[in-house]
Amino acid sequence: MPKVTINGTEIEVDKGKSILRAAAEAGYDVPHFCYHPALSAPANCRMCLVEIEGVPKLQPGCYSQINDGMVVHTESERVVKARKAVLEFILLNHPVDCPICDQAGECKLQDYYIDYDAQESRVRTEKQNKVKAYPIGPEVVYDGERCILCTRCIRFCQEVTQTDELTIVERGDRAEIRAFPGRELDNNYSMCTVDICPVGALTARDFRFKCRVWLLTSTDSVCTGCSNGCNIHLDHFRNEVQRYRPRYNPEVNDYWMCDEGRLSYKSVHTDRQTEPKVNGATVNWHALAQAVADKLGKVEDPSQIALVISPQATCEDIFLAKRFGEETLGGVQFYLGGKLSGDSDEFLIKADKNPNTRGIEAVFGGTDSLKSFDDLLADMESGAISVLYMSGTDTPCDAETRERFVGLLDGLKLFLHQSPHAGEFADKAHIILPSCTHAEKDGTFINFDGVAQPIYQAFAGYGRSIPDWQIFLRLARAMKKPFDYTFLTQIQEEMFAASQAPEPEPEPEPEAGDDESSAPPPAE
């Protein structure tokens, strides 16, 4: 392998690696705008210029490959001077409207200005005026003045989604990013361009002006939009999810996520039920557990009880639901809930819209022991099921069948509804058990590929909602058959020991902690 010396550090790197990556391996951060590890390197921003001994001119670090015996300086006087000049050039027509720019706080231009430029503008002429707040796509807004023409978004549309919507129009200081005539940036991954935009030129219509980024707290989580399980940063402020951002994980989603999943955070806050209720009366959890224990204890034949397991729940919740059904109640019928399958593509979007179908398979050892939702309807119609314990509001059926299902609920002797959302069941359910969404609890999801991924609690549960696994613990204790758990980790240990989970290790998938926006060239 070729050896290079970077700032006096000798390092062996793979052949064909760029200087920028080699420097990152040696521990030196070379500033860059246009370079993105998942995209090609056009070397047009000139921010990553480095000095190579024996080469008269400075070379772009993102594009130049290392040679054996190369001696590179990334912090020399010439390089620093060049960086300052490049920044001054980029800032010539930049409006410096950081106070109203959504990118302020996570802006590369801001960061590098502080690090390398930090001088007052010497420009005394009018700045070039360009298009402001231009709707370049349904989800994305473009600001021409802030744009530094790094072409990351163009290359994203060319190389990742291969939809080729964007290009540069005009030349020189009038150049702007535009969609081709008659087209707009409306592919399924268009909001990824907002993430990769190093400045505030592309902003998401959804997040625009909503919250300043420095107020956000970020929690590592997993998108629940489909079974792909894209890793996300769940950015929240004052107990409210403000946005999802993809989190780098080469095994699952790389740097990307789809728009639909990105906007699925809204379901966390809509249609929530927050108070435990028995027959419409708000009670506390203790009284509710007693009432449930009393009512379920009176059911003579447990096979009349239907327990609908939702693949929207975490593995821990499903595991406890199974134990609750099999051991505490004894011999109930399990049915598979969840969402109906939807669209899919070859990239990230999967047809199975439930994040944890594989989790059910892992806990139950396949889905054979679970009856389908159609069976539930048939059993309810025939009267074989008189007690329904439903987790989640989703039903894997079309609107018509769902209407039929909702109508059948009136015929039940007892209907327990355990869900974060009310759905149509708020006045149908005899007992309402408000649970937490994935943003409010810890847990594990297993994606379509069998990768077990942890989610972490971002903020406290809405109202008096508690995680599903805690609900089952409370109910089991009220029924005098308590589970031997106190912490989630105990459940996890037992769960992974009990099931033939695809992932043998008890602690799921390690964090692919690398974040594109904070770590420049990740040495992946």
Partner 1 sequence: MAKHEVKQVERVEPGLWEKSYIPEIARGLKVTIGHFLNNLRPNKEKHTTFTREYPDVPTDYYPDRFRGLHRLMLRDDGQVRCVACMCCSTICPANCIHIEAAEHDDPAIEKYPAVFVIDELRCIVCGLCVEACPCDAIRMDSGVHAHPFTDRGEAFLNRDLLMEMGGLSMAKQGGER
- Nearer to partner 1 by Cβ, of 210 and 413: the residue is 210
428 binds partner 1 (CB under 8 A): no
Stretch that binds partner 1, among 96-104, 242-250, 344-352, 395-403 (CB under 8 A): 96-104
135 binds partner 1 (CB under 8 A): no
Binding mask 209-228 for partner 1 (x = CB under 8 A): xx-x-xx-------------
Stretch that binds partner 1, among 149-157, 205-213, 241-249, 272-280 (CB under 8 A): 205-213
122 binds partner 1 (CB under 8 A): no
Pairing of the two strands 134-135 and 70-73:
unpaired
Q: Are 306 and 335 in contact (CB under 8 A)?
A: yes
127 binds partner 1 (CB under 8 A): yes
The Cα angle at residue 229 between residues 226 and 233, in degrees rounded to 5: 115
What are the Cα distances from residue 475, in Å, to 92, 311, 436, 461?
66, 21, 16, 19
- Beta strand segments in 435-491, E: 443-446, 452-455
- H or E segment to which residue 382 belongs: helix 373-382
- Nearer to partner 1 by Cβ, of 100 and 497: the residue is 100
For the chain, the distance separating the N- and C-terminal CA atoms, rounded to the nearest angstrom, is 18
- Nearer to partner 1 by Cβ, of 53 and 97: the residue is 97
Output phi, psi for 246, to 5 deg. -65, 145
Q: Are 91 and 113 in contact (CB under 8 A)?
A: yes
What residue has token string 């609900």?
471
Q: Minimum distance from CB of 235 to partner 1 (Å)?
A: 15
120 binds partner 1 (CB under 8 A): no
Helix (H, G, I), strand (E, B) or coil at 359: helix
Q: Which of 3, 78, 174, 208 binds partner 1 (CB under 8 A)?
A: 208
Q: Are 136 and 178 in contact (CB under 8 A)?
A: yes
Q: Hey, what are 442's tokens? A: 């810890």
Q: Minimum distance from CB of 100 to partner 1 (Å)?
A: 4
- Nearer to partner 1 by Cβ, of 214 and 487: the residue is 214
Q: Minimum distance from CB of 146 to partner 1 (Å)?
A: 11
Question: Could you please report the per-residue DSSP string of 47-95?
Answer: TTEEEETT-SS-EETTTPBP-TTEEEESSSHHHHHHHHHHHHHHTSS--
- Nearer to partner 1 by Cβ, of 146 and 353: the residue is 146
Q: Minimum distance from CB of 95 to partner 1 (Å)?
A: 9
Q: Minimum distance from CB of 246 to partner 1 (Å)?
A: 25
Task: Please report how many Cα atoms fall inside a 13 Å half-sphere around the Cα of residue 317, on the Cβ side.
Answer: 30
100 binds partner 1 (CB under 8 A): yes
What are the Cα distances from residue 182, in Å, to 136, 158, 166, 179, 185?
11, 17, 11, 8, 11
Stretch that binds partner 1, among 125-133, 366-374, 408-416, 455-463 (CB under 8 A): 125-133
Residue type, 144: G
- Nearer to partner 1 by Cβ, of 3 and 132: the residue is 132
269 binds partner 1 (CB under 8 A): no
Q: Who's near 396: CB < 8 A, 6+ residues apart?
A: 336, 337, 338, 339, 340, 341, 372, 373
- Nearer to partner 1 by Cβ, of 141 and 452: the residue is 141
Q: Minimum distance from CB of 120 to partner 1 (Å)?
A: 11
Range 28-57, binding partner 1 (CB under 8 A)? none
- Nearer to partner 1 by Cβ, of 133 and 281: the residue is 133
Q: Which of 1, 55, 118, 133 binds partner 1 (CB under 8 A)?
A: 133
What residue has token string 């190093």?
198
Q: Minimum distance from CB of 232 to partner 1 (Å)?
A: 24
Indicate the burial class of 99 (C-beta count within 10 angstroms; 0-12, 13-18, 19 or more): exposed
Q: Minimum distance from CB of 127 to partner 1 (Å)?
A: 6
239 binds partner 1 (CB under 8 A): no
Q: Minimum distance from CB of 403 to partner 1 (Å)?
A: 38
Q: Are 43 and 63 in contact (CB under 8 A)?
A: yes
Q: If we measure between CA atoms, which residue out of 36, 21, 60, 30 comes closest to residue 153?
A: 36
- Nearer to partner 1 by Cβ, of 50 and 191: the residue is 191
- Nearer to partner 1 by Cβ, of 212 and 404: the residue is 212
399 binds partner 1 (CB under 8 A): no
Q: Minimum distance from CB of 212 to partner 1 (Å)?
A: 5
- Nearer to partner 1 by Cβ, of 99 and 383: the residue is 99
Binding site for partner 1 (CB under 8 A): 97, 99-100, 126-127, 132-133, 208-210, 212, 214-215
